[in-house]
Amino acid sequence: MSQRERQPSGGVSAAGQPGPLSAAAPLASAGLPWEEIYPSASPAQQAELLALAARQGGLVYSHQLPASANGLLRDPARELLTRLLAGKTDDLEPLHVQPTEVEDAALDPVQREAVAKALQTPDLCLIQGLPGTGKTRVLAEIITRAAVRGERVLLLAPHAATLDRALHLIRDREAIYAVRCLDREENPESLPPSLRELTFAERLRRLREDTLEAARRDIQAAEARSAQLARGELLWPRLEELAERRRQLDEQLDALRDCRGQVADLAEQEVRQAESATGDHPLRPALDALRLELNESLARIEKVREDLTAQVKEHEREQAMLAAELDRLRPLAEAKQSGRWWTFAWWRAVFSRTQLARLAACEARLGQLGEALNRLKEEARRLDKDKERSEQVFQEGRARVVESAAARRRAELDDEEAALRHEAALIQEKWQAACQEFGSEAAPTAPTPAALRAAREAWQQRVREAEERRAFARQWAACLEESAATLANRMREYVNVVAATTGSLAADEHFGDAAAPLLFDLLVLEGANQVTESEFVNLARRARRWVLVGEPAPEEGDLEGEGQATDRKGKGDPARPSPPLPSRGTAAAPPAPASGEKGKGEGTSRRPVSARSPIIDPRASFFQRLWHQLHCDPRRLPYAWVHDKDGLCCRLRPLPPEQRPWLECERVADFPDVELRILAPPRTPPVLAEVVFPPWMSIAQAKAYIFHELAELPVRAERHSLRWLEQPERLVLSLADSPPADAVPVVLGHGVREWVAVRTAGSEGGESHPTSWHTCLVEFDRRAGWHRRQAEEWVQQHLGIRDLGRTVRLDIPYRMHPELAAFLSDWLFAGAYDLPPAAPELAPLLSGNGTPAVQFVPVPSPAADRSSRRRSEVAARSGDGRRGTVMLRPAKAGAGLELDAGDPRHRDRLPAELRADFSGTGFVNYLEAQAVVRTLQALIADPALQAAAQPCGDDPHRVTIGVLALYPAQAELIRRLMARVPSLAPLPGRHGDTETRRQGEDGSCSVSPCLPVSLSSSRSKGITIKVDVPAAFREGECLVGLVSLTRSHSHRAVSFGEGPDLLVRALTRARARLIIFGDPGTLARRAQWQGALDHLDEFASAWEQRLISRLVGYLHGQGAPSPRFQLCEGSAP
Amino acid sequence: MTVAGPLVFPGSRVLAGWWQLLAPFQPQALWVAHLLLHRVEALACVSRPRSLDRFARLVLQALTLGHERTLPALEDRLHLGRQTLYQVLRRLQQEGLVQPGPSGEWQPTGLGRHALERDEYPAVGHERRRFYFVHSSAAGRKPHFLDLPDAISAPCVAPDDWAFDVGILQACVRQPAEWKRRWGFPLDVEEVHTIPRVGPPADALEGGPDPNAGAAADEPAAALGLPFPTPIPEPPAWQRVIVDWPEHLLSALVLVAPGSGGERLLGFAAHTEGWVLQAERPAFRLGEDWAEVFPELTEESPEIWQQAWRAWCQQRKLPLAEVEACTLQRHGHRLRVGAGKRLIDRLQAVRSQALRGEVWLLAGSGRIRPAAQLELVSLTP
């Protein structure tokens, strides 16, 4: 059972069942709805009511409700604040946030954690950060994410500039519908256009007028389109006709194509027809001529053939006769030749000698006949060939006739096709002409019926759509006209970000007290450190949850002693007295005495009894008080580890030197090597103050000893915040960025280990530091059964701190170059900055040319002052001469260069051309103003700056060079001097010529203090310069900042500007380089003055004195690392 | 707030005046009741038809025009400005009428299309509603729902046995529509949110509305004929807590004849201060099942009238023997007393209003007491 469960809060019955009701039962909430009763109950009461309802089946009885005061509901905001400011944080449940998706991917883990806490807190969340650490960026992300979640956000700030910077970041985000309320002294015309359009009136005007006008334009466009489409109704028949004709033409062309393939056959057919025709035929003469020629030829051949045949017959007859004669003669010849004398034939041959001659003659004749026959056969074959040739000639002639017929037919087809194609081309022209009337989107893709059909369907669809659009446009315009009166209410519902200054919200016409109440889900208050508690309570009623964003109070570092300040990052004396935790039961509750303590220091208490209270501004805002109550700052733990007698000494409480005489030493009975030092002042219970270990004991052994014997975890932390990291295998309480590789583990129990980083004595960055021991983290092993709540309870028990998870501290000044951040951290914030990574666009401004981040320009210059017997003088010089580090010897008084602009006699000492119409108030320093202008001239000629300068666009918060004069009169003087320098002349139309520059009667020019000026010089285009007082640079930043301290009094200490907060603001606007102009003597005089001064009260004066003292120290060669700071010899760097 | 104390009832003249005021309702019987009520406040899931305003309708319509439904495309049609348009769509999304797609396109939901078609849609939301239940001290009797307008009853101190079972309310929600119409239970309530019970379960309901009845009434979208879910975010636990406030209502319960609107029992609110009866309009009406709510009205014992008559006579110092000899008979709103001649003579002697029928008696000792007009008749001819 938790403590809260053991202690039921008043008004809520703890009974599980409905108890006996009596007239005395509290009934004060009667009549109030549950939605008001429950939120107004304290967290403990709320938890108890829910538990009661769960036990009773989801129901509570009216008598079990918490009583309200005097029958009225309590103000939850006021009650919560009162409780928290009184340190009553026990009933706040620690907030365990889940990672949240962010749009701005450049946010670092701590900034993301801030977003997550702001979105997930059930009540409030505090975000604290020094200048330039990205508060506004985180805030913009919070607002965006809340809006994405559908929440309504009220963005408040004491000053409009703060709002505007945040609005500038979120105004274009889709989920944001922001309205900026006008501040009391603002009117819409005074706002830049980008902001003016965010005002309710302008938004409403645009909604009423611009939207309506656009809707009317839509009507016209829709009507024009409908008319255009309607013309298609007449065109479609034409198109259809053309398409049909085109279709026919295509068919004809296809037919022609077919015909062309059949031309040869047709020609042959025609020739045959001609051959067989009886009547006239064009081909007939040619064919007849061919036929005639053939016939003649054949006849001639036939005749020759007949002759030949006759000759052959004749020859064959003769041949037969000869053959018969030969047959008769040949036996005589053979008998003669063979000498067969006994034969008759021999005898006949002998006696008829002619017979043999006849035989020879017949044979010869037979031979002749054979040759003649052969010749005749050859001739007959030749005639056959002639006949074939004649027929071939005829066929060739006929083929020519066929071919000529085919050619004729082809020519006819060509003519026909050409005619068709010509017609098709005409149709295509007509088609295209018709299609052009449709426009490109509705035209058919091709002059075909199918394409036409598809196009017509699409056109009909478009006609319907156009009709719908036209009807819609008319309805929409009519709706806008009719609802013009109610648009304001409608718009009020849509607004999800209302931005207003804290002073103007109540009087706002639309979101103020007079309007219908609008409950916001989230109130984001930036600049919460400048808002009073009552102001906040009045505003807090408007929202369910609150996110307060502000800067830390100066006591967080600025007003600490030198020793404290130098120990911020592990440097300096780690045994310095530490301020105690705030006196609250959670964060500062001392751990309960461990059982093992008895016998180690009988009768002593080991609780801190005295510690220097933090220097708290008596005017500290409720934000800072709230921060002290809610933020768990491990640096406020009282423990310290130091070397003592060659061994380790654990200081359990701060021990001022004046209390050291009261220390009594005592050895531990069962471990004599360990020495206990007990603080026993008179009339005060003794307390254990220190434990000294022998030299052979390591830090791990010493820590383990303390933990096991005292059940305390003496932690020394480096950071201002702790973080819980939930990892898969372990839970980590992180007290540093990351443990170094040589961190020492200390086993504290089952699954619990502490990691201690040991920084051995040495020097770093030009400064020496002793050995120090810092706890990096305490880890809890999940495998050993640790879970978050259990680990938190362990930490609360042994470390005395309980992180409520509602605060986030931003320490990395992303705005600045690391060199500048390091210097300002040391000077202004006692080392509270964590150095940022170097922004690429800033690197050329410093690292490229070896320019130091901070330069001080003494006015008058030491060289000039020596001649005028000035009391400060150059003491040493190093480096390259002009840019060398120069240290000044201490001066006792200033040069007396300042003039009171409000005093006419003083003003008369200004040059006549400058003092006309001089309206500035405060002090001026003419020499210093001249030095500033000379520096400006040098700066704008710097190529590195020209390269780095970015046009400020419509963001008035970012300029290239910011000149911050502590007094309006000095700012005006600088502007007037700038106006006399051609290279510093403003660019026409860029806030300089037409808008802000005004011509005086005497021809002098002045520039409005509010808007940056873009330069017209061709070399310096893109460079913007803004000259103003620090208050006008709220939320602004510049690449190079020139700070004119102005004051130069001859004999007394004087204050600088309106206060140290504005001085700090002036010094933290620069991103890369800071150039300070001042009178070293006056500064030295101021550094010597303690107590209230001029309009500054004691606190502010002490703060300013501390700032000036450290600056004087730098001027005298103390403190800051020399590469970062340079004292210029002349009046221009 | 009414502090617990002895119950105060109106006198005879007041009752007579009330009777005259109630005459237009043709009353048949009258009771005077100090009703103890559970005013149960609970987060209800309510569905009721909501008309689509023209602006929203046109924005929805714009989503159906054209094919591109991205924010820029919609802005081209509406010209509201992208940020304004985004908020408009977010509002419609909260109503469940539109939804964004993964590619940044917005499209109307089923509910949105339904709304476009019919110009109205069932708006489902959470509302903290008040439900009145009549408390009864009788053992075993569970509180019964009573359709009572707000601000009629007044907070009071609850009796010792004050308890309410959330199951009774949930059972009412589950009843069929016919039951709800009969008893005036809001038809638009679809569910009553509660947080789960921790510890021993509540006793089973007895005598109250049937928890199993009317399961069909638990389907809002289906009941409306909508084939899509109606979006409704889950309320946080603290809003689900039900609060029971004890309240008191002095009322005149009047039994009226059937046919006069079909109702049988009317309840008229009254105030003890000046005994003012709000007779213009009944605070609640019960049908013929009125006895389920007020069973005690039907459990009237003759003995209580004897006691009332006796007490009336005792105040007038009438002889007990003559009083006891009277016969009592209840006829509607009248209590007919048959009295002896001597008793009547005595009353005549003191010019008693009872003889003119102007005396009203209240009987019983509970929170609800019957009232009757005294009618004296002579027992002797």
Kindly list the distances between the CA atom of residue A165 and the CA atoms of A113, A139, A159, A168, in Å, as whole numbers in the listed order. Answer: 22, 10, 11, 5
Residue A503 one-letter amino acid:
G
- Cβ atoms of A774 and A717 within 8 Å: the answer is yes
- A485 touches B: beta carbon within 8 Å: no
Kindly list the distances between the CA atom of residue A24 and the CA atoms of A67, A822, B205, in Å, as whole numbers in the listed order. Answer: 12, 66, 31
Partner B, chain A 127-156, Cβ-Cβ below 8 Å: 150
Q: Residue A247: which residues within 8 A CB-CB, separation 6 or more?
A: A448, A449
More reliable by pLDDT, A226 or A521: A521
User: Distance, in angstroms, between B326 CA and closest chain A CA?
Assistant: 44
The pLDDT value given to residue A560: 46
Looking at every residue in chain A, the average pLDDT score rounds to 79
CB–CB contact A476 B71 (8 Å)? no
Residue of A nearest to B246 (CA): A62
Q: How confident is the model at residue A612 (pLDDT cuts 50, 70, 90)?
A: very low
- A18 touches B: beta carbon within 8 Å: yes
The pLDDT value given to residue B208: 39
Residue in A18, A27, A207 nearest the CB of B1: A27
Q: Is the pLDDT of residue A585 over 50?
A: no
Dump pLDDT digits (tens) for B205-239: 333 344 333 333 334 444 444 555 555 667 888 89
Dump pLDDT digits (tens) for B85-118: 999 998 898 888 999 888 888 989 888 988 988 8
The pLDDT value given to residue A119: 93
Provide the number of CB pairs (under 8 Å) joining chain A to chain B: 151
The pLDDT value given to residue A769: 65
The pLDDT value given to residue B228: 53
Dump pLDDT digits (tens) for A130-186: 888 999 999 999 999 999 988 999 999 998 888 888 898 898 888 899 999 998 888
Task: Flag the least confident range among A469-473, A519-523, A594-598, B275-279.
Answer: A594-598
- A471 touches B: beta carbon within 8 Å: no
CB–CB contact A54 B196 (8 Å)? yes
- Chain A residues touching B82 at Cβ < 8 A: 174
Residue A1007, both tokens:
């520039």
Residue in B54, B166, B244 nearest the CB of A62: B244
Dump pLDDT digits (tens) for A963-992: 999 999 999 899 888 888 888 876 555 444
Measured distance CA(A927)–CA(A932) in Å, rounded: 9
Closest by Cα among B177, B252, B159 to B219:
B177
DSSP state of A631: -
- Cβ atoms of A216 and A475 within 8 Å: the answer is no
User: Distance, in angstroms, between A22 CA and closest chain B CA?
Assistant: 7
The pLDDT value given to residue A955: 66
How many helical (H) and strand (E) elements, i.e. helices and strands, does chain B have? 12, 15
3-state secondary structure of A653: coil
Residue A381 one-letter amino acid:
R
3-state secondary structure of B44: strand
Looking at every residue in chain B, the average pLDDT score rounds to 83
CB–CB contact A58 B196 (8 Å)? yes
- A55 touches B: beta carbon within 8 Å: yes
Measured distance CA(A1090)–CA(B191) in Å, rounded: 72
Partner B, chain A 448-467, Cβ-Cβ below 8 Å: 465
Q: Which long-range contacts (CB under 8 A, 24 or more apart) does A985-990 make?
A: A985/A1015, A985/A1016, A985/A1017, A986/A1013, A986/A1014, A986/A1015, A986/A1016, A987/A1013, A987/A1014, A987/A1015, A987/A1016, A987/A1021, A988/A1016, A990/A1014, A990/A1024
- Cβ atoms of A490 and A239 within 8 Å: the answer is no
Dump pLDDT digits (tens) for A845-883: 776 567 788 888 888 876 555 544 444 344 334 433 334
Q: Is the pLDDT of residue B163 over 60?
A: yes
CB–CB contact B241 A49 (8 Å)? yes
The pLDDT value given to residue A849: 62
- Chain A residues touching B195 at Cβ < 8 A: 50, 53-54, 58
The pLDDT value given to residue B230: 54
- DSSP letters, B267-326, are EEEEETGGGEE--SS-SEEE-TTHHHH-GGGG---HHHHHHHHHHHHHHTT--HHHHHT-
Closest by Cα among A698, A647, A525, A630 to A156:
A525
CB–CB contact B162 A21 (8 Å)? yes
3-state secondary structure of B331: strand
**Percentage of the residues of chain B whose pLDDT score is greater than 90:** 27
Residue in A31, A53, A495 nearest the CB of B241: A53
CB–CB contact B196 A465 (8 Å)? no
Q: Which of A497-501, A600-604, A822-826, A885-889 has the highest mean pLDDT?
A: A497-501
Average pLDDT over residues A944-962: 73
Task: Flag the least confident range among A583-592, A731-740, A753-762, A885-894.
Answer: A583-592
Which H helix or E strand runs over A450?
helix A449-482
User: Distance, in angstroms, between A494 CA and closest chain B CA?
Assistant: 6
Q: How confident is the model at residue A271 (pLDDT cuts 50, 70, 90)?
A: confident
Closest by Cα among A365, A380, A371 to A318:
A365
Average pLDDT over residues A199-214: 89
- Chain A residues touching B2 at Cβ < 8 A: none
Residue A66, both tokens:
């918490």
Dump pLDDT digits (tens) for A455-509: 888 888 888 888 888 898 999 999 988 888 888 888 888 899 999 999 888 888 8
Residue A698, both tokens:
């390591």
Q: Bridge partners of A226?
A: none
Residue of B nearest to A461 (CA): B66
Q: With the CA atoms of B59, B65, B69 and B71 taken in that order, what torsion angle do they form, in degrees rounded to the nearest 10? A: -40
Residue in B80, B81, B195 nearest the CB of A53: B195
- A31 touches B: beta carbon within 8 Å: yes
Q: Is the pLDDT of residue A573 over 70?
A: no
- A197 touches B: beta carbon within 8 Å: no
Residue in A21, A65, A214 nearest the CB of B160: A21
User: Distance, in angstroms, between A213 CA and closest chain B CA?
Assistant: 9
Residue of A nearest to B200 (CA): A55
Closest by Cα among A171, A204, A160 to A509:
A204
Q: Is the pLDDT of residue B175 over 80?
A: yes
Q: How confident is the model at residue A360 (pLDDT cuts 50, 70, 90)?
A: confident
User: Distance, in angstroms, between A984 CA and closest chain B CA?
Assistant: 40
Query: What was the ipTM of the complex prediction?
Result: 0.85
Q: How many CB atoms lie within 10 A of CB A428?
A: 13
The pLDDT value given to residue A865: 53
- Chain B residues touching A483 at Cβ < 8 A: 54-55
Average pLDDT over residues A755-759: 86
**Percentage of the residues of chain B whose pLDDT score is greater than 70:** 87
- Cβ atoms of A1071 and A815 within 8 Å: the answer is yes
Residue of B nearest to A177 (CA): B83
Q: How confident is the model at residue A68 (pLDDT cuts 50, 70, 90)?
A: low
Residue A887, both tokens:
């240290």
The pLDDT value given to residue A917: 78
Measured distance CA(A921)–CA(A929) in Å, rounded: 15
Q: Which long-range contacts (CB under 8 A, 24 or more apart) does A320-325 make?
A: A322/A362, A322/A365, A322/A366, A322/A369, A323/A366, A325/A358, A325/A362
Residue of A nearest to B80 (CA): A211
Q: Is the pLDDT of residue A98 over 90?
A: no
Measured distance CA(A688)–CA(A598) in Å, rounded: 12
- Chain A residues touching B199 at Cβ < 8 A: 16, 54-55
Q: How confident is the model at residue A890 (pLDDT cuts 50, 70, 90)?
A: low
Residue of A35, A37, A59, A480 best to disrupt the B interface, most CBs of B under 10 A: A59
- Chain B residues touching A50 at Cβ < 8 A: 195, 237-238, 241
Residue of B241, B242, B248 best to disrupt the A interface, most CBs of A under 10 A: B241
- Chain A residues touching B4 at Cβ < 8 A: 23
The pLDDT value given to residue A766: 53
Q: Which of A157-171, A510-524, A576-590 has the highest mean pLDDT?
A: A157-171
CB–CB contact B128 A35 (8 Å)? yes
Q: Is the pLDDT of residue B203 over 60?
A: no
More reliable by pLDDT, A302 or A863: A302
Kindly list the distances between the CA atom of residue A568 and the CA atoms of A137, A486, A635, A854, B241, in Å, as whole numbers in the listed order. Answer: 26, 59, 9, 21, 51
CB–CB contact A21 B159 (8 Å)? yes
Dump pLDDT digits (tens) for A1001-1060: 333 333 444 456 655 555 566 788 888 999 888 888 888 999 999 999 888 889 998 888
The pLDDT value given to residue B289: 85
Measured distance CA(A148)–CA(A144) in Å, rounded: 6
Q: How confident is the model at residue A590 (pLDDT cuts 50, 70, 90)?
A: very low
Residue A603, both tokens:
């009768």
Residue of B nearest to A29 (CA): B245
Residue in B79, B164, B202 nearest the CB of A211: B79
- Chain A residues touching B157 at Cβ < 8 A: 21-23, 25, 27
Q: Is the dihedral of CA A644, A650, A655, A661 positive or negative?
A: negative
Q: Is the pLDDT of residue B132 over 90?
A: yes
Dump pLDDT digits (tens) for A389-398: 999 999 998 8
More reliable by pLDDT, A593 or A133: A133
CB–CB contact B243 A62 (8 Å)? yes
DSSP state of A94: P
Q: How confident is the model at residue B15 (pLDDT cuts 50, 70, 90)?
A: very high
- Cβ atoms of A860 and A872 within 8 Å: the answer is no
Measured distance CA(B55)–CA(B123) in Å, rounded: 17
Dump pLDDT digits (tens) for B38-56: 999 999 998 888 888 888 9
Q: Bridge partners of B189?
A: B46
Residue of B nearest to A490 (CA): B88
**Percentage of the residues of chain A whose pLDDT score is greater than 90:** 17
- Chain A residues touching B99 at Cβ < 8 A: none
Q: What is the separation of C-alpha A545 from the centre of its chain, rounded to a whole number of angstroms? A: 27
